[in-house]
Amino acid sequence: MSVGFVMLCHTAFDRAAQVARHWSRQGCPVVIHVDRRVKAATYRKFTRDLAGEADIRFAPRFACEWGTWGLVAATQAAAELMLRDFPQVSHVCLASGSCLPLRPVSELAAYLAARPGTDFIESVTTEDVGWTVGGLNIERFTLRFPFSWRKNRRLFDDYVRLQRRVGFRRRIPAGLAPHLGSQWWCLTRESLTAILQHPRRAEFDRYFQRVWIPDESYFQTLVRLVSTRIESRSLTLHKFDFQGKPHIFYDDHLQLLRKSDCFVARKVWPQADRLYRAFLSPHAGAQQAAEPNPGKIDRLFARAVERRTKGRAGLYMQSRFPNPAWENAMSAAPYSVFQGFSDLFENFETWLGKAAGVRVHGHLFAPARVEFAGGDTSYNGALSDSAALRDYNPRSFLTNLLWNTRGERQCFQYGPADSQKILPFLMRDPQAQISVITGAWAVPLFRASLDFPEIRKEAARLQKIEAAQVDLLRLPAVKARLRIWSLAEFVEDPMTPLQDILDEINPRAGRRLTEAPRMADLAGFGQFLQNLRNQGMQPVLMGDFPAGDDPRPTTTRRGRPYLVK
């Protein structure tokens, strides 16, 4: 008993010849089908190349356009030739010209002999298929496809749509349950004979001639009628990418292919010299009875598909620039934005760094320069502290910073005095944790020794900006995790909000705060606000600070601050 190979070739004939010779010299008959569209001279050269080999035959040629009946007709003719000319063949494997045997044929024969009467063919009902291109499953069997998908995509799609609208359906021959699966199978002589000599073959052929991509359904469907034992998997290692075209193997896949223990791989780049040398040498293979195990290769290709379809979260680069709302995470990692905290607390940045174990920057969007942590003039990824560069594209600046520092949580201060162009991005980003103490900008003004008219002017400016900010942050489009307190609200009970924020940054730490940051001395702040009022300004954002009544943190717990989202 032996295994026979039917090879469908249309290009890279040197390699096909090499593989055919390899198989036939190990005692496996090979029947080769060459696409009719291949030039006569090329075909002649190919047949001349293989002329000396006893167990190689050439099958009658059919034109094999992708997705059409020609491929099935070619397979049928070649398989008939195989069964007629080589009575010793007990199994027939369908392969292509770009297949590469990874293990000696003797191991394949032993594997098949240990599972007698078994057909290895992927065969899945149309309801359970998830891989089909173009979304056509059962409709492959019930519609007509007179137009080429490759050449006349428009007509193809329009005609499908028209048939759907009209409600046209072809009748599936009685007794057939449509199945789909990989084109590369390995059938027993008995099953293959039964399919090819089926009393209703003429009827089936007529039907399948109008089915779309019959090479993925003809044998897969008919084998269900004749086989006694089906293993629904392919012995050929082949993977499809997200467009439904096969992944290709190169020299650098050598070790992966070796360890896969598969029998045949498809498809191999014709110029992968190292692969062909390694697997077609007479000494190749020593694994004995190992079960095929393509897990690693599966993962490699699954990752590639994921990279192509989902990409790396938060990365903006020359070949990934998602439209808004398609980013799959607008930034690379969660981060925290604090507004007013460093105004109210004297040592907020150092305190936060210690308490939460995170990187705390100053005002990244300060008007004069970028205040990186530690006062650096440049940062991860060689980001510059130039305010002009940052403001030229603040979104790129921030997403770059978060991408460059992934793995370490970033926190930064923000405020009404900073560049405001980044705010729409911050509010839309679910990764942003924004905590705002409104009116806290008044504290440094209160403690500054400036002329009062100047202070009044600055206070009016900041209040106007912050009021606009707060309006923006209350829009329904806000996706950030947002907390807002007025200054009066916050100073009454600072510990609870701080604890909440830290718990969110570090959910598993479960530590209670032991050390609070040092709050600025607010004695006289109420009077300061009253002075502003007396000058004709109306400070509202800081909440209620009665003049003369100095706020003092109390220990009584009030209700939690509201949390949006």
> Which residue ranges make up the site for other proteins (CB under 8 A)?
241-243, 245, 247-248, 250-252, 269, 271, 300-301, 303-305, 307-312, 315-323, 326-328, 378-384, 386, 388-389, 392-393, 396-397, 400, 403-404
Distance of closest approach, residue 375 Cβ to other proteins, in angstroms = 14
DSSP code, position 361? E
As given in the structure block, the two tokens for residue 101 are 């045997």
Distance of closest approach, residue 130 Cβ to other proteins, in angstroms = 18
Which of residues 140 and 239 has its CB atom nearest to other proteins in the complex?
A: 239
Give the per-residue SS3 of 151-193: CCHHHHHHHHHHHHHHCCCCCCCCCCCCEECCCCCEEEHHHHH
* 460-490 burial code (b ≥16 CB/10 A, e <16): bebbebbeebeeebeeeebebbbbbbbbbbb
Q: For residues 172 and 179, give the distance between their C-alpha atoms in angstroms, rounded to a whole number.
A: 12
186-to-78, 85, 97, 122 alpha-carbon distances in Å: 14, 18, 16, 10
Q: Which amino acid is at 227?
A: S
Which of residues 140 and 253 has its CB atom nearest to other proteins in the complex?
A: 253
Which of residues 133 and 475 has its CB atom nearest to other proteins in the complex?
A: 133
Which of residues 106 and 328 has its CB atom nearest to other proteins in the complex?
A: 328
Which residue has 């084998």 as its token pair? 223
Task: Mention every residue, 6+ apart, whose C-beta is less than 8 A from residue 223.
Answer: 119, 121, 123, 179, 185, 187, 191, 195, 230
Distance of closest approach, residue 376 Cβ to other proteins, in angstroms = 9
Listed in sequence order, the DSSP H helices in 429-479 are 442-447, 452-473
Task: Mention every residue, 6+ apart, whose C-beta is less than 8 A from residue 155.
Answer: 147
Q: For residues 427 and 423, give the distance between their C-alpha atoms in angstroms, rounded to a whole number.
A: 6
Which of residues 367 and 553 has its CB atom nearest to other proteins in the complex?
A: 367
Q: For residues 282 and 441, give the distance between their C-alpha atoms in angstroms, rounded to a whole number.
A: 80
Which of residues 203 and 273 has its CB atom nearest to other proteins in the complex?
A: 273
Distance of closest approach, residue 270 Cβ to other proteins, in angstroms = 8
Distance of closest approach, residue 407 Cβ to other proteins, in angstroms = 13
Which of residues 49 and 251 has its CB atom nearest to other proteins in the complex?
A: 251
Distance of closest approach, residue 369 Cβ to other proteins, in angstroms = 10
Distance of closest approach, residue 143 Cβ to other proteins, in angstroms = 25
